[in-house]
């Protein structure tokens, strides 16, 4: 192998020596020249390490910096960097921090006869982190999670009604209908999107406060380029027994809420206000799209069996606290006999669920083909 062929520059800066090794155009065969450290790891010199890290990225800016005074260094490729400290001898572990975000514990680089050497697990970790970060850069926006929220539950039955159908008493509880529909919807979505997280705010007949529901939703971690959507499922009630059909609700476009995480822009209230507004408007715009997509799908699937009551907007319902695009679907009226019979009939409920799924899928497809919307939580 070749050694000492790096262009090394010593720069004096604020009294500290920086060793900056910039861009390495040559390709070495890293396999030829492997040392074995006392710890049993393969070790690579700087030349080899840079070849391994940078071989696949010929267009990006590549840099290596090492500060021998503080014994800290960094590798940079494109807009990504891995910062680390170095040890005096082999076998010490420490932190590798990538993009100021991900921290790994790795065997640290150390000096061996005046030359920095890099243990293989260190090199592999930083290479994998760079590969991940670069693929995130180019990846499309995606819906990472879909949260299904069956309304009511436990002590809260929601809308309740008694009918007589086919000569038999029919007692309808909103909480049971929406749980049944939500479970079916969950199963369909899990099959359709094995790579997305499909979550429910409740999976059984339990009492669940609005705060608990939205806390579940807001706690889902998402990465850059990812978004979550929230679908709340209810059944309707009216004193007018003739009122029937489905409707889909979204927030009123002028409704204002705090959608940003508390930690963001905490030192600049003005900027925070502006960012909050932009994010919120994006969430509401997307909420309207999801609502329209679900309503269209319900109309197409249900045909004449159930009338559409259209899109509705409100500022008080469950989704007002969630920091993501959110809609609420009213499947039908428990107070109306026809709707009550349909919603408690398996074949009909399947059709409603299918319609919800198609509406969601249509939105997800559009979203993931497009550039998405602002996601700042
Ligand atoms: Zn309800």
3 located within any domain? no
pLDDT band for position 261 (50/70/90)? low
pLDDT attached to residue 211: 77
Do 48 and 26 lie in a common domain? Answer: yes
Do 131 and 180 lie in a common domain? Answer: no
Q: How far is the CA of 296 from the centre of ligand 1 (A)?
A: 21
Distance, CA of 155 to CA of 199 (rounded, Å)? 22
Among 130-139, 184-193, 282-291, 359-368, where is mean pLDDT lowest?
Answer: 130-139
Tokens of 67: 């500060």
Judge residue 243's burial from the number of C-beta atoms within 10 Å of its C-beta, 0-12 exposed, 13-18 middle, 19 or more buried: middle
Among 4-13, 140-149, 179-188, where is mean pLDDT lowest?
Answer: 4-13
Q: How far is the CA of 143 from the centre of ligand 1 (A)?
A: 26
Q: Which helix (H) or strand (E) holds 327?
A: strand 326-333
Evaluate whether 70 touches 80 at the Cβ level (below 8 Å).
no
pLDDT digits (tens, 9 = 90+) for 296-306: 999 999 988 99
Tokens of 88: 């005096």
Q: How far is the CA of 230 from the centre of ligand 1 (A)?
A: 15
Distance, CA of 224 to CA of 133 (rounded, Å)? 10
Q: How far is the CA of 79 from the centre of ligand 1 (A)?
A: 48
Mean pLDDT, the chain, integer: 79
pLDDT attached to residue 13: 27
Q: How far is the CA of 350 from the centre of ligand 1 (A)?
A: 20
Q: How far is the CA of 336 from the centre of ligand 1 (A)?
A: 15
Do 121 and 256 lie in a common domain? Answer: no
Distance, CA of 70 to CA of 112 (rounded, Å)? 17
Domain boundary among 91, 121, 138: 138
Domain boundary among 138, 158, 176: 138
Q: How far is the CA of 165 from the centre of ligand 1 (A)?
A: 23
Q: How far is the CA of 152 from the centre of ligand 1 (A)?
A: 6
251 or 354, which is more confident?
354
Do 90 and 233 lie in a common domain? Answer: no
Do 218 and 345 lie in a common domain? Answer: yes
Q: How far is the CA of 320 from the centre of ligand 1 (A)?
A: 15
pLDDT attached to residue 102: 80
CATH assignment of the domain containing 213: 3.40.630.40
**How long, in residues, is the chain?**
377
Distance, CA of 193 to CA of 242 (rounded, Å)? 38
Do 123 and 204 lie in a common domain? Answer: no
267 or 154, which is more confident?
154
pTM, full prediction: 0.60
Q: How far is the CA of 315 from the centre of ligand 1 (A)?
A: 15
To which residue do tokens 């700087």 refer? 46
Q: Into how many domains does the chain fold?
A: 2
375 located within any domain? no
Q: How far is the CA of 279 from the centre of ligand 1 (A)?
A: 27
pLDDT digits (tens, 9 = 90+) for 141-177: 788 899 999 999 999 999 999 999 989 999 999 999 9
127 or 5, which is more confident?
127
Task: Work out the percent of the chain whose per-residue pLDDT is above 70.
Answer: 74
Q: How far is the CA of 158 from the centre of ligand 1 (A)?
A: 5
Q: How far is the CA of 243 from the centre of ligand 1 (A)?
A: 16
pLDDT attached to residue 35: 58
Q: How far is the CA of 235 from the centre of ligand 1 (A)?
A: 6
* Mean pLDDT of the 313-339 span: 77
pLDDT attached to residue 16: 28
Q: How far is the CA of 204 from the centre of ligand 1 (A)?
A: 16
pLDDT attached to residue 326: 81
Evaluate whether 74 touches 64 at the Cβ level (below 8 Å).
yes
What is 195-233 written as a DSSP string?
TSEEEES-SSS----HHHHHHHHHTS---TTEEEEEEEE
Do 105 and 151 lie in a common domain? Answer: no
Residues, CB within 5 angstroms of ligand 1 (ion): 151, 158, 234
| Predicted confidence (pLDDT) at residue 122 exceeds the cutoff of 50 | yes
Task: Work out the percent of the chain whose per-residue pLDDT is above 90.
Answer: 43
Structural domain including 305 reads 142-369
If DSSP codes are grouped into helix, strand and coil, which group holds residue 130? helix
If DSSP codes are grouped into helix, strand and coil, which group holds residue 352? helix
Do 169 and 222 lie in a common domain? Answer: yes
4 located within any domain? no
pLDDT attached to residue 228: 86
Nearest to 47 by CA among 29, 66, 65, 70: 29
DSSP state of 140: P
Distance, CA of 295 to CA of 246 (rounded, Å)? 8
Distances (CA, A) of 224 to 148, 165, 228: 22, 52, 12
Distance, CA of 26 to CA of 12 (rounded, Å)? 27
pLDDT band for position 27 (50/70/90)? very low
Q: Which helix (H) or strand (E) holds 189?
A: helix 174-192
pLDDT attached to residue 141: 75
Q: How far is the CA of 221 from the centre of ligand 1 (A)?
A: 27
pLDDT digits (tens, 9 = 90+) for 90-105: 888 988 888 777 888 8
Distance, CA of 101 to CA of 83 (rounded, Å)? 11
Distances (CA, A) of 165 to 204, 237, 246: 27, 18, 21
């Amino acid at each position: 192998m070749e050694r000492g062929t790096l262009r090394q520059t010593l720069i004096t800066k604020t009294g500290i020596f920086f060793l900056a090794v910039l861009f390495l155009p040559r390709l070495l065969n890293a396999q030829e020249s492997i040392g074995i450290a006392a710890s049993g790891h393969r070790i690579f010199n700087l030349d080899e390490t840079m070849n391994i890290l940078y071989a696949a990225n010929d267009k990006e800016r590549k840099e290596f910096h090492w500060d021998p005074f503080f014994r800290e260094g960094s590798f940079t490729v494109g807009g990504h960097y891995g910062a680390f400290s170095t040890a005096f001898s082999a076998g010490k572990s420490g932190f590798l921090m990538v993009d100021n975000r991900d921290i790994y514990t790795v065997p640290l680089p150390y000096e061996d006869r005046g030359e920095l050497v890099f243990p293989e697990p260190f090199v592999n970790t930083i290479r994998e982190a760079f590969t991940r970060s670069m693929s995130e850069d180019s990846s499309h926006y995606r819906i990472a999670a879909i949260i299904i929220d069956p309304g009511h539950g436990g002590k809260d039955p929601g809308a309740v009604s008694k009918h007589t159908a086919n000569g038999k008493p029919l007692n309808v509880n909103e909480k049971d209908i929406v749980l049944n529909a939500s479970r079916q919807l969950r199963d369909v979505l899990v099959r359709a999107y094995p790579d997305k997280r499909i979550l429910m705010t409740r999976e059984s007949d339990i009492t669940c406060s609005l705060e608990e529901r939205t806390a579940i939703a807001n706690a889902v971690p998402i990465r850059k380029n990812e978004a979550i959507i929230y679908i709340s499922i209810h059944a309707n009630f009216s004193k007018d027994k003739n009122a029937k059909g489905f409707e889909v609700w979204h927030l009123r476009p002028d409704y204002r809420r705090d959608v940003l995480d508390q930690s963001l822009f905490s030192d600049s209230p003005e900027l925070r206000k502006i960012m909050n507004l932009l994010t919120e408007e994006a969430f509401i715009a997307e909420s309207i799209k999801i609502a329209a997509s679900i309503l269209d799908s319900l109309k197409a699937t249900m045909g004449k069996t159930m009338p559409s009551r259209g899109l509705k907007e409100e500022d008080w319902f469950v989704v007002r606290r969630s920091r993501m695009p959110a809609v609420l679907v009213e499947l039908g009226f428990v107070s109306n006999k026809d709707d009550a019979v349909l919603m408690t009939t398996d074949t009909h409920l399947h059709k409603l669920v299918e319609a919800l799924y198609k509406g969601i899928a249509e939105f997800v497809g559009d979203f993931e083909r497009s550039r998405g919307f602002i996601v700042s939580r």
